[in-house]
Homo-oligomer: A and B are copies of this chain.
Amino acid sequence: MAKAPVLTPQADDFPRWYQDLINKAELADNGPVRGTMVIRPYGYSLWERMQQELDARIKEAGASNAYFPLFIPQSYLTREAEHVEGFSPELAVVTHGGGKELEEPVVVRPTSETIINEYFSKWVQSYRDLPLLINQWANVVRWEMRPRVFLRTSEFLWQEGHTAHATYEDARAYAERILHRVYADFMVNVLGISVVPGRKTAKERFAGAINTLTLEGMMRDGKALQLGTSHELGQNFAKAFNTQYLAADGGREHVWQTSWGVSTRMVGGLIMSHGDDNGLRVPPRLAPVQAVVLAIKEDEAVVAKVREVGERLKAAGVRVVVDDRTDTPFGRRAVDWELKGVPVRVEIGPRDLQGGTAMLARRIAGGKEPARIDELPQTVTAVLAEDQELLLRQSREFREARTADVATLGEAAEAAATGWARIPWSEVGPEGEAKLAEQGVTVRCLVAEDGSVPDDDDTPGVLAVIGRAY
C-alpha cells in the first residue's frame, strides 16, 4: 500500500500544496486580523538569512540603514497625486491615540516615500550632500482583500531603499545598480531563482514613479511572481516636498530619486520556485540549516559520533544542526527535515560506526549514498556547492521550457495557461494589455531581444513577457 502523501501533490492542487507546506514545515500561521501573518521560527530564519545577504549587498552599494516613523500624517500622502491615488484603497488609518480622537488621522505607512522626502528636504542642502543613500528594514501595511500568506499580506516585512541624486543619469544608474548588483545577484546566486529582469509598462508602474524595473520569477505552476522592484521616481516627490539642492553652479535644482524594495513575499517565492511534493528545498547558500546530522537510534556511541560530526562540519563552515532526539522516531524526524528542505541529511546508526560510513541524503539532487565519516566535511561542502548550482539550473530550464515565443495576443493568452509568452511589445501595446487583463493575464515586463533591460518602451525589438501572476 502506498504511503499517504505528506502534502497535497502540486499537480493536484498547487495553492493547497503551498498552504499545506507552510503549515507542516511550520513556516507561518494566519494572524487574527484579516490578512496578517505570524512568521514562525523556521520561516523567520529564512527571512533572517535573506536579510543578512541583502543587507551586506545594500551596504556594499553605499547605502546606510536608518528608521522613519510608522505613522505618516494623512496630508503627506496627498501631496503626490498619483501616489495617493495608488495607495488610498489600501490604507490603515489610526483615528485614536492615547484615549483621544486625533486632530489629524494618521496612516500606517504603506511605503515611506512621502515621510522620507519630508526629511530629505531638510538634510539635503548642496550638491555635496548627494547622493543621499538610505535604506530601512521595516514593516508596512497595505490592507489586503484577498490575502495569502507571504504573497499578499496586510502587513509585511521588507526593506525600502530611498535615494536622492544630483542628476537624472545618476538616479537611473543607481536604480539599475540595485536591480542587478543587489537584487538579481542575490536572487540568482543565493536564492537560486532564474529571475528575468525587465521594465514595467506604464500600467504596471509604481504609483509616483517614472520608471519601474522589476525581477520576475516563474513559479512551479507556471505563474509569475514579482520578486523585487527598483523605481526611478524622477523629480515627482522632490517637487511635491520641495527637495532641492544648491548646484555647483549656484542654481537650485530638485533632486532625482529612486526607491526600491523586496519583502517577505520572497519567502513565498522561494517555496513556489523550489518546493516539491515532499516539501521545501532550500538553496544551500541561503539555508539557515545546511546540514542536519541525525542519530538514527538511542546509542551512546552513535550520539557521541553525531555530535563529533556536527562539530567537524561546523568547523568546516557548514551551518549544521545535530538531531539526537532519539525519543522521537527516526522516520518522523527524517520527514520533518525533508519538509523543511534542509539540503543535506547525514544519518548515523550503530552499524554505520563499524564501517566508518554514514548515509548522506540529498534533499535537492535526491537519493541517498554512503559517505565516509572522516571525509564528511569535504563531501558535504562539495554536495552543497553542487546542489546550489543544480537548483538554479532547474529553475532556468523550467522557465525556458515553459516560455513560448508567440506572434499574436491569442497565442500569448493561451501560453499563459501553463507558463509565459514572449511577444513583440509592438503587437501588444496598451490596448492589447487591457484586453489581456480581462482574461487575468498581464504584461510582467518588457525585455530587449538580448535579454537586457530596454531603455524605454519604444526601443525597436522590445519584447513583452506575458503571464498570469501572483
Contacts and interface: CB of A to CB of B under 8 A. Distances in A.
Contact of A90 (B38, B98, B105, B139): B98
Given A76-B32, A118-B32, A67 B38 contact: yes
Contacts of A106: 33
6 contacts: A31-B68, A31-B71, A39-B67, A45-B64, A71-B154, A93-B95
Max chain B C-beta neighbours (<10 A), residue from A39, A43, A144: A39
Contacts of A93: 94-97
B88 A99 contact: yes
A418 to B, nearest CB: 33
A453 B108 CA distance: 41
Contact of A38 (B69, B97, B141, B154): B69
Given A64-B44, A65-B41, A72-B32, A96 B95 contact: yes
A139 B141 CA distance: 13
A216 interface: no
Nearest to A33: B71
Nearest to A75: B32
Cβ-closest 6 pairs across A and B: A98-B143, A41-B64, A36-B69, A31-B69, A39-B67, A93-B96
A299 interface: no
A94 B92 contact: yes
B155 A69 contact: yes
Max chain B C-beta neighbours (<10 A), residue from A71, A89, A93: A71
Give the size category of A's interface with B. Answer: 35 or more
Max chain B C-beta neighbours (<10 A), residue from A41, A69, A91: A69
How many copies of this chain? 2
Nearest to A47: B67
A37 to B, nearest CB: 7
A434 interface: no
A119 interface: yes
Interface of A: 29, 31-33, 36-41, 43-45, 47-48, 64-73, 76, 88-99, 105-106, 108, 115, 118-119, 122, 134, 138-139, 141, 143-145, 154-155, 157
B157 A67 contact: yes
B48 A65 contact: yes
A39 B68 CA distance: 6
A403 to B, nearest CB: 35
Nearest to A98: B143
Contacts of A97: 91-93, 143, 154
B32 A44 contact: no
Contacts of A44: 64-67
A94 B97 CA distance: 9
A134 B31 contact: no
A115 B143 CA distance: 19
Given A89-B98, A92-B96, A94-B93, A69 B143 contact: no
A37 B155 contact: no
Contacts of A92: 71, 94, 96-98
A66 B29 CA distance: 11
A36 B70 contact: yes
